[in-house]
Each structure stands twice: as structure tokens, then as C-alpha cells.
Amino acid sequence: MALLKTFFRRDGVRRALCWLGAQYIRLVHFSGPWTAVRGEIPRRFWDQGRPFILCFWHGRLLMMPYAWDPTRTIHMLISHHPDGQLIAHTVAHFGIKTAAGSSSRGGASALRLMVRALQSGECVGITPDGPRGPRMRASDGAIHVARLSGAPLVPAAFGARGRGVLGSWDRFVVARPFAGGAFVWGEPIEVARNVDDAAIEAARRALEDSLNAVTAEADRLCGQEPVEPAPVPASAAAEAHP
């Protein structure tokens, strides 16, 4: 096992795997029909040159490069973990820029980069449950990026008519070729700069609820059973309902 890990950590091997991953994503997209629901939402921002924060769950990462207008610059927040760097090198094949960081490592510098990108007119992308979960439960990191930058949060998801769902913490959805699917967008969520902790928590819940709604909608449109979020921790549930 250690020898296998060493093999896959080689730079050339990793680059080849990322290239193959990008080709698989291209095959899935071009071999089946894909539709967009409420695609006018991001289009309005793109046409007006207004930056926004694309938010989607970690388990729906695979096909999201094709939800995006390739003529628009976007910076994705990706973790320092080796798996995160594999993702970064894969999405780079689609012209997506990345910033390394997470809530536990490199978070402050990544947050500053995200805010600077938005203030310069470029968009950013965040998976609010990444890099370690709980699945489909939003942290407040994206809320703070929105608060400091003034840019709105825009939820999105993809569903696939043919798919496999991995047993990973995020229930990663692997779309299959020749089946097609749907991209679903949600309404923007604005966060004022001067807000208290209660308002931040309200925005976090609104983002989580909206993301779960568009994700379930995408699954149902594709004839799939929606993936369920991880159970709410007992401590969080007690705080929400004292």
C-alpha cells in the first residue's frame, strides 16, 4: 500500500491522472444532453460584469466546470490536501484558477485572495462543506467572503441521469457517459457587511437550505433519488432549538 501511495504521488503520474480525469469529464458532457435550469441567473451577472460567489456541494464537483461560462475568470478554493491538489490540477484543464486553503490550514490567506478577486471583478467558487464535511452542511466561510467583498452567493448543482455515488464522506457523484443531466441554479443570497453573529448564522442556514434544494431538484429532474445531507450534530440541533 505504501509503495502504491508513493507511485501515485509522483508528479508525472498525478499529471497523467488529472489529464485523464479532465478527458472523462469532457466525454460525459459531450456524449449526452445537458440542460440548465434558471441559467438566466448567472447569465445576468456575467452580462453585467458583476462578480459573484459560486457555491456548490463538494460531492457535486465533477461536472461543474461545464456549468460555467469559460470566457469568465473564476478562482476555486481548493484544500491543501493531496486530493484537493488533484482536483486543482484537473479543473485547470478547463481554465479554472485555484487558491489553496481551508478552514484549518491556509484559510486566512485564501480568504484574502478570494475577497481581492471579487473586488477586482472576478468570480470565485467555494464548496461550503469542503474539504472534510459534514456532507451538505455549510460552514460560514462563504458567508464571510460575501460579507467582506459585497458579492452575492449563488447556489448551483448538477444532477446526472446515469451516475454512480461513491461511499466517500461527500457521497461524490460520478456522472456516466451518454446519459446527460441538468445544471440547476438558485437565487442569489446577499450578505450585508455590518452583521452580527445571528445574521451570519441566518445567512449560513439560507445558503445551506438553498444548496440542498437545488441539489435535490437536480437529482429529481434526472430521475434520481436525492442524496441526503449528513445528520445535524446533536450540539448544533440543540443550539438551533434551545
Give the DSSP letter string of 178-232.
TT-EEEEE---B---SS--HHHHHHHHHHHHHHHHHHHHHHHHHTT-PPPPPPPP
Residue 118's pLDDT is: 95
Nearest by Cα to 54 from 103, 124, 151: 124
User: For residue 151, is it left (φ>0), alpha (ψ between -120 and 50) or beta?
Assistant: beta
- Give the pLDDT confidence of 197-224 residue by residue, as tens digits: 999 999 999 999 999 999 999 999 999 9
Distance (Å, whole) CA 213 – CA 57: 12
pLDDT interval class at 185 (50, 70, 90): very high
**pLDDT above 90 (res 10):** no
Domain ranges of the chain: 14-222
pLDDT interval class at 3 (50, 70, 90): very low
**pLDDT above 60 (res 1):** no
Residue 159's pLDDT is: 98
Distance (Å, whole) CA 27 – CA 210: 29
Instruction: Please indicate whether residue 101 or residue 74 has the higher confidence score (pLDDT).
Output: 74
**pLDDT above 70 (res 180):** yes
For residues 126 and 59, the answer to whether their CB atoms sit within 8 Å is no
In the chain, % of residues over pLDDT 70: 87
Looking at the whole model, is its pTM more than 0.95? no
- What residue type is 99 in one-letter code? A
Nearest by Cα to 145 from 47, 76, 79: 76
Residue 8's pLDDT is: 47
- What residue type is 66 in one-letter code? Y
For residues 230 and 134, the answer to whether their CB atoms sit within 8 Å is yes
**pLDDT above 60 (res 7):** no
- Give the pLDDT confidence of 96-128 residue by residue, as tens digits: 998 766 544 446 777 888 999 999 999 999 999
